[in-house]
Structure 1
Amino acid sequence: MTPATNFVGLPPAEDPQIVGIRDQFQAMDNFTQVFAIRPGDRVLFLADPLLDPRVIQAVLGLVRSRGATARIYMEPSTRVTEVPEGIRALLEDATFVVSTWFCSIIDPLCIQLRRQGQRWVKITYFRNLDLLKTPQARFPLDVIGELTRATAARYPEGEAFDLRFTDERGSDFRIHFTPEMRQRQLATNRWRGKMTAEENGAYVHYLPTHGPNLWDHNSVNNDLSVATEMSGVLYPQWAIGFAKPFEERIGVHFDGEYVSRVEGESDEAKVLREMLVGGRMIEGGGCGFNPKAPRHTVYPAGSNAPGALHFGIDLAQPSDYIRRVMPDWEEPPVHMDLITLDGTVLAGDNLLIDKGFLCALRDPAVVELASRYGDPIELLEVPVY
């Protein structure tokens, strides 16, 4: 019998000794573009003890090269739910903020300062400098931006519509959009394809993987007192803090924005029932837009592969399960992300995602732009697992 090792039908993997420097500089160029620090910027780094200190040094090196200044402030963990009173003045003085903190997106002061022009980079996905060596770190920023714009163009304009999420397990969840909600949602910098913190008021992620949410409270000017019309059921495949996808078909039912019940008999269903009932939807389909983000890596906040979705639920009370299983999770134990990798999403009659495939990946403008950086099929449609 011929040994399996004797069969060679595919090319060998690229030798990192040959291409490593090329890949490194491509990733570093993305890094310097996203961290669009200007001469004279007052940079504030909101850090935590578990962050790779090399990440801080990398940002400080860029600060020096740009003729800016920096301060570093560290909290005991990333799970900061509001800006501490003692550093409000520091934050208000900054022109550019790099943050690992959970409250970065939701704290009213942070929102207010961005409206006044402060620029932010959230680094949930850059906690280790070695991530610069990954395919997602060097994926062309312009292509990610074009993917988001092409997806935004599928939202019906000038009319009310439902954003509908379905899958083969039976999910059927709808979020109602008015024309005004659409306009506000898609006016945010990431929906306009802006992947860098160059623009005043920017809020971007680095690594550039976590795309904008298909729905969130940007649609109502971040006024959490405004209720959005939504209802239905989701059958997630997975959730943060669980080692593998669920074997049981677990149903999470919503009455408006709030989880009303969880159906299922497995241990996972029991945990989710105790955790989720009474929780509020705050991210209706966080969507990945980086074709080289690992599809089956859902920690810490959902897969960022194109077409993968996560639904962020703010819990009615802290979860003991999260405290036990993820004591050092980057998010506080009052939040959970439900994951689907095979969902279908319609905006009105327009198809955004087809069974987990982001339809904009085949838009002519996206393909044409990707062809400037390499083979568009390899760049856009060869996933990383």
Structure 2
Amino acid sequence: MNPSPTYVGLPIPVAANLTDTKYFFQALDNFSRVMAIRPGDRVLMLADPLLDPRVIDAVIGVAKSRGAEVRVYMEPSTQVTAVPEEVHAMLKKATFVVSTWFCSILDPLCINLRRAGQRWVKITYFRNLDLLHTPQARFPVDLIGEIIRGTAARYPAEGGFDLRFTDPRGSDFRISFTQEMRANQLATNRWRGQMTAEEDGCYVHYLPTHGPNLWDHNSVKNDFKAVVPMAGVLYPQWAVGFAKPFEEKIAVRFEGDTISAVEGTSEEAVILREMLVGGRMIEGGGCGFNPKAPRHTVYPAGSNAPGALHFGIDLAQPSDYIRRVMPDWEEPPVHMDLITLDATVTAGGNTLIKDGFLCALRDPAVVALAARYGDPVELLEAQVL
């Protein structure tokens, strides 16, 4: 039977003039709260030429309304792997930083300045002001924080444990945690569910979609020389820079944190083998936490829907494939994100994610908080595909 206006099984979308204004002001309130600029702050924006200038103006507007000063410094692209020497003095003077640069989280200078109290907002996911009109922009930031805290509570509080990633394709990858590693990992402001840049030393994302990584080098206090026991195999469904999910089941094998082999015969497997072998895991399960983030949008750094995971790999050498297909990517051609959308993740005997569903979405505390904002089932489980 051909579709016809006579057969309607779903409601007609509500007219935009009845919803857009209220939705927009919800998003503006989130933006204003995340950009927690204080009177007298010295704000520095680390920008790039492809950033929507209206985003810069929005930050300047908030700063001016609060009696703060703003400086803007622009590099030729976001793919900055270390803070340029000529920026050091400006960065050290700043009290509040808004950045598009890749090195923001990794550069030792940035890490040390945050330890001294500097506040940071990373805007990888806010490169166009029109994003304020999206469902993920207006999703309550406090509710995202509660979802993150519910996930953190599933890490065992006693003894060592394995963080284990499995999926229907046969992935089985494990990272061994000590209690010291657990304490370090969960002590970060992002794992505490702090979504706004209020606290001294904070590092938050805006749009508030990309949550904390299930494992990263925060677990060893950013000692990139520390050896963290991990090994296994991942069968990613997708990767940034590929137009669609993989049809072949491609195996990515690890010895420790280093990729030892990529198995497969498809064109995608050949590309990944050339790119990944010798690369090092730096993000073991970057997890999405915003229920309104589109699940199947994996650019620029993986899906940010709850339970979707990306595995960040630092490559042994720059990838010509990335240079060809993503010359203006927000990350440099020495990095790659592998994607899984259906993983099960356990921490010891506790389940964090089941078949791609983030278990904390049904925690009583999360559901109770969601009820303040609307229907909890719609807010938490009606995801955008």
After superposition, give the CA deviation of every residue in 1:104-157 in whole Å (9 maximum; x if it has no partner). 000000000000000000000000000000000000011100000000000001
1:316 alignment partner AA: A
Quote the Cα distance in structure 2 between the aligned partners of 1:290 and 1:341.
Answer: 14
- SS of equivalent residue, structure 1 residue 136: helix
Quote the Cα distance in structure 1 between the aligned partners of 2:298 and 2:15.
Answer: 28
Alignment of 1:34-183 (within 5 A): 34-183=34-183
After superposition, give the CA deviation of every residue in 1:269-300 in whole Å (9 maximum; x if it has no partner). 00000000000000000000000000000000
Quote the Cα distance in structure 2 between the aligned partners of 1:133 and 1:119.
Answer: 26
- SS of equivalent residue, structure 1 residue 254: strand
Quote the Cα distance in structure 2 between the aligned partners of 1:198 and 1:43.
Answer: 14
With over 3 angstroms needed to count, the CA separation of the structure-2 counterparts of 1:179 and 1:7, relative to structure 1, is same
Aligned residue in 1 for 2:252: 252
- Percent identity (aligned): 76
Shift of 1:8: 2.4
With over 3 angstroms needed to count, the CA separation of the structure-2 counterparts of 1:259 and 1:3, relative to structure 1, is closer
Quote the Cα distance in structure 1 between the aligned partners of 2:215 and 2:10.
Answer: 42
Quote the Cα distance in structure 2 between the aligned partners of 1:326 and 1:381.
Answer: 32
Quote the Cα distance in structure 2 between the aligned partners of 1:283 and 1:78.
Answer: 19
Shift of 1:12: 1.3
Aligned residue in 1 for 2:31: 31
Gaps of 5+ in 1: none
After superposition, give the CA deviation of every residue in 1:221-277 in whole Å (9 maximum; x if it has no partner). 001010110000000000000000000000000000000000000000000000000
- SS of equivalent residue, structure 2 residue 292: coil
Shift of 1:2: 7.9
Query: TM (normalized to structure 2)?
Result: 0.99
CA RMSD of aligned residues (A): 0.8
- SS of equivalent residue, structure 1 residue 225: coil
Quote the Cα distance in structure 1 between the aligned partners of 2:92 and 2:49.
Answer: 23
1:90 alignment partner AA: M
Pairs aligned (count): 385
Shift of 1:54: 0.4
Aligned residue in 1 for 2:8: 8
Aligned residue in 2 for 1:261: 261
Aligned residue in 1 for 2:234: 234
Aligned residue in 2 for 1:327: 327
Gaps of 5+ in 2: none
Alignment of 1:300-311 (within 5 A): 300-311=300-311
Quote the Cα distance in structure 1 between the aligned partners of 2:4 and 2:359.
Answer: 38
Quote the Cα distance in structure 2 between the aligned partners of 1:2 and 1:189.
Answer: 53
Alignment of 1:205-244 (within 5 A): 205-244=205-244
Quote the Cα distance in structure 2 between the aligned partners of 1:263 and 1:16.
Answer: 49
1:238 alignment partner AA: W
Give every structure 1 segment of 4 or more consecutive aligned residues whose post-TM-superposition deviation is greater than 4 Å.
none
With over 3 angstroms needed to count, the CA separation of the structure-2 counterparts of 1:2 and 1:268, relative to structure 1, is closer
After superposition, give the CA deviation of every residue in 1:141-193 in whole Å (9 maximum; x if it has no partner). 11100000000000001210000000000000000000000000000001001
- SS of equivalent residue, structure 2 residue 131: helix
After superposition, give the CA deviation of every residue in 1:310-346 in whole Å (9 maximum; x if it has no partner). 0000000000000000000000000000000000000
Query: TM (normalized to structure 1)?
Result: 0.99
Shift of 1:305: 0.1
Quote the Cα distance in structure 1 between the aligned partners of 2:111 and 2:15.
Answer: 45
Quote the Cα distance in structure 2 between the aligned partners of 1:64 and 1:371.
Answer: 35
2:11 alignment partner AA: P
